[in-house]
C-alpha cells in the first residue's frame, strides 16, 4: 500500500519530532562547575593544579569542563569562592617549613580560570573563608613543620583578615594570634594549631557579625609526639570567635569555646543560627546555637555521632541537611537539621545502603549551589571526586553515574559555582 503525499509528510514530521524530543531529553545541560585542587606530582616541589568539571543538571554526573590550570603554587590545601562566583582563591602550603601563598583567579561564565594576583605568606596557610560581601578574606595559618596527615606547628596559629577590592587581595586589615584567654588564660603560652575558619553569611550588626576559628592545643594533644604539658593540661579542642567591626577590625569574644579533642572542620547554616564542628579524634559532631549574632551555646543532646575520623562538613543551601565526610571509613554521613533547634539527626538512607561510601579518604565536601541537589567529595588517597544525588525530601544520598571521577594526585579541596547566569539555590528553610 502506498502512502499519499500528505501521509508521507505527516510521517516525516512525526519522526522528526520524535528524534528532536529524544535528543533534547538526552542533551547534557551544565548546571554547575566543580573545581578540584590537587597536587600535580609526587615531588615536594611539584606545582599544584586545578581541574574543572561540568555538572549535568539531571544526573549530577561530572564530565571534563574547561582546561586544567596550574594552581600557581606548591601543595594547594584550601579553596574558596566569592558569593558572586567571579573570584576563586587557592591557598598553598608551599615547601615546608617556608611560607605559603594565596593565588587569586577570575572565573569566567564557561568555567575558565585566569590567574590574577598572588600574595606570599610568611606562615603556612591551612584554611580560608570569604565574607558574603566579598570584601574580606580570612586565612588561618601557622609555622608548620608538617601538614598532612599530621599537622605540627612550631608556633601558635593566627587568623589574618585581608581586604578584597574587586577580587584583588589587598593589605592585612586585622591579625589575631590564637591564644587561650579569659577563663583559660593560665594556658596562654600553649601552641594552638588552627584547622578551619568560618565566617557567617550576613555581616551585619544585628545577625551574623562573626567569624569562628577551630583549633586544637598541641601542648595537650600531639599524636605521634609528646605533649608538652605533663599535668593540668588545657582542654584539647577549641572554637575562637571574633566580632567584625565596620572597618573589619576583629574583636575576640569573651572566652573561647571548648570543642572536643581535635576539631577538624567548621560550618554554619545559611540563616546564621547554628554552627557545627567535627571532632576528628572523638568521631563526633558538635553543634552550637548562635545567640545575639555571635555568642555560641552548646546544643542540647549533643555531641552527635559520626563515622571514624570526620574530616569535613557542609550544610546545604536550604539549611535543611548537613553532610560529614569520614576519612578513615571513606564514607559520608548525612543528617537532617531541625530548622527550629538546629539539632542534626542521622538520615536513614531508605533508597540505598545505610553506609554511603566514597572513594578512599575524603577530605573535603561541597553541595552544588545551582540546584542544591548534588554532593561531591574530594578523595585524597583515591585521587578522585565522588558524586551523589541529594534527595530534597529526606536528605539521603545516592551515587551519581560513573562515580568516582578521576582527578590528579591527592585532591585536597573542592568548590562549586553555578554555570553562566544560572542563579544559585537560595531557599528559606
Q: In sequence order, what DSSP letters do the residues of 83-110 get, joined into one string?
A: TTS-EEEEEE--STTS--EEEEEEE-TT
Instruction: Evaluate whether residue 4 is within a structural domain.
Output: no
- Biggest alpha carbon–alpha carbon distance for the chain: 99
Q: How far apart are CA 221 and CA 27, in angstroms?
A: 53
Instruction: Evaluate whether residue 119 is within a structural domain.
Output: yes
Per the CB < 8 A criterion, the answer to whether 418 and 29 are in contact is no
Instruction: Evaluate whether residue 311 is within a structural domain.
Output: yes
Determine the average pLDDT of the residues in 191-195: 94
Instruction: Evaluate whether residue 22 is within a structural domain.
Output: no
Average the pLDDT over each of 8-12, 131-135, 155-159, 353-357 and give the range with the smallest value: 8-12
Q: How far apart are CA 112 and CA 155, in angstroms?
A: 38
Per-residue pLDDT tens for 22-69?
433 445 688 999 999 998 765 555 789 999 999 999 999 999 999 999
Instruction: Evaluate whether residue 196 is within a structural domain.
Output: yes
Per-residue pLDDT tens for 229-251?
867 889 999 999 999 988 899 99
Does residue 330 surpass a pLDDT of 90?
A: yes
Scan for cell 600557581, then name that residue: 72
Tell me the pLDDT band of 265, cut-offs 50, 70 and 90.
very high
Instruction: Evaluate whether residue 423 is within a structural domain.
Output: no
At residue 1, the pLDDT reads 42
SS3 for 234-277 is CCCEEEEEEEECCCCCEEECCCCEECCCCEEEEEECCCCCEEEE
The domain in which residue 367 lies consists of 29-418
Does residue 111 surpass a pLDDT of 50?
A: yes
Determine the average pLDDT of the residues in 111-133: 95
- Count of CB atoms within 10 A of residue 427's CB? 12
Per-residue pLDDT tens for 206-234?
445 899 999 999 988 887 777 788 678 89
Answer whether the bond into residue 149 is a cis peptide, omega within 30°. Answer: yes
The mean pLDDT value of the chain amounts to 88
Average the pLDDT over each of 51-55, 292-296, 309-313 and give the range with the smallest value: 292-296
CATH at residue 85: 2.130.10.10
Instruction: Evaluate whether residue 372 is within a structural domain.
Output: yes
pTM over 0.85: yes
Q: What percent of the chain has pLDDT over 70?
A: 85
Q: How far apart are CA 195 and CA 263, in angstroms?
A: 7
Into how many domains does the chain fold?
1
Instruction: Evaluate whether residue 156 is within a structural domain.
Output: yes
Amino acid at each position: 500500500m502506498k502512502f499519499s503525499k500528505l501521509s508521507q509528510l505527516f510521517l516525516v514530521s512525526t519522526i522528526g519530532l520524535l528524534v528532536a524530543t529524544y535528543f533534547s531529553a538526552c542533551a547534557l545541560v551544565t548546571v554547575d562547575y566543580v573545581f578540584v585542587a590537587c597536587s600535580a606530582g609526587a615531588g615536594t616541589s611539584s606545582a599544584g593544579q586545578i581541574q574543572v568539571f561540568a555538572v549535568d543538571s539531571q544526573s549530577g554526573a561530572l564530565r571534563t569542563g574547561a582546561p586544567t590550570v596550574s594552581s600557581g603554587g606548591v601543595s594547594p590545601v584550601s579553596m574558596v569562592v566569592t558569593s558572586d562566583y567571579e573570584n576563586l582563591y587557592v591557598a598553598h602550603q608551599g615547601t615546608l617549613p617556608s611560607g605559603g601563598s594565596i593565588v587569586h583567579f577570575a572565573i569566567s561564565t564557561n568555567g575558565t580560570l585566569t590567574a590574577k594576583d598572588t600574595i606570599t605568606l610568611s606562615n603556612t596557610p591551612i584554611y580560608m573563608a570569604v565574607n558574603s560581601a566579598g570584601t574580606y578574606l580570612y586565612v588561618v595559618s601557622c609555622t608548620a613543620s608538617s601538614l598532612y596527615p599530621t599537622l605540627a606547628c612550631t608556633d601558635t596559629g593566627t587568623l589574618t583578615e585581608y581586604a578584597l577590592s574587586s577580587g584583588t587581595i589587598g593589605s592585612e586589615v586585622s591579625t589575631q594570634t590564637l591564644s587561650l584567654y579569659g577563663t583559660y588564660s593560665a594556658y596562654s603560652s600553649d601552641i594552638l594549631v588552627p584547622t578551619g575558619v568560618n565566617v557567617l553569611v550576613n555581616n551585619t550588626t544585628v545577625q551574623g557579625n562573626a567569624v569562628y576559628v577551630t583549633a586544637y592545643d598541641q601542648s595537650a594533644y600531639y599524636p605521634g609526639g609528646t605533649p608538652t604539658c605533663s599535668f593540668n593540661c588545657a582542654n584539647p579542642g577549641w572554637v575562637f570567635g571574633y566580632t567584625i567591626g565596620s572597618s573589619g577590625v576583629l574583636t575576640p569574644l569573651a572566652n573561647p569555646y571548648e570543642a572536643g579533642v581535635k576539631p577538624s572542620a567548621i560550618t554554619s547554616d545559611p540563616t546564621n543560627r547554628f554552627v557545627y564542628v567535627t571532632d576528628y579524634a572523638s568521631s563526633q559532631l558538635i553543634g552550637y546555637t548562635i545567640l545575639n549574632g555571635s555568642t555560641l551555646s552548646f546544643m542540647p543532646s549533643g555531641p552527635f555521632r559520626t563515622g571514624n575520623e570526620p574530616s569535613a562538613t557542609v550544610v546545604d543551601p536550604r539549611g535543611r541537611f548537613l553532610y560529614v565526610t569520614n576519612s578513615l571509613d571513606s564514607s559520608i554521613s548525612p543528617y537532617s537539621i531541625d530548622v527550629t533547634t538546629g539539632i542534626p539527626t542521622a538520615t536513614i538512607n531508605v533508597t540505598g545502603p545505610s553506609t554511603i561510601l566514597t572513594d578512599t579518604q575524603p577530605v573535603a565536601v561541597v553541595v552544588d549551589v545551582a540546584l542544591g541537589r548534588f554532593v561531591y567529595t574530594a578523595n585524597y588517597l583515591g585521587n578522585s571526586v565522588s558524586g551523589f544525588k541529594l534527595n530534597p525530601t529526606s536528605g539521603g544520598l545516592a551515587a551519581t553515574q560513573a562515580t568516582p571521577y578521576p582527578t590528579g594526585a591527592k585532591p585536597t579541596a573542592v568548590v562549586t559555582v553555578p554555570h553562566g547566569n544560572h542563579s544559585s539555590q537560595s531557599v528559606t528553610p
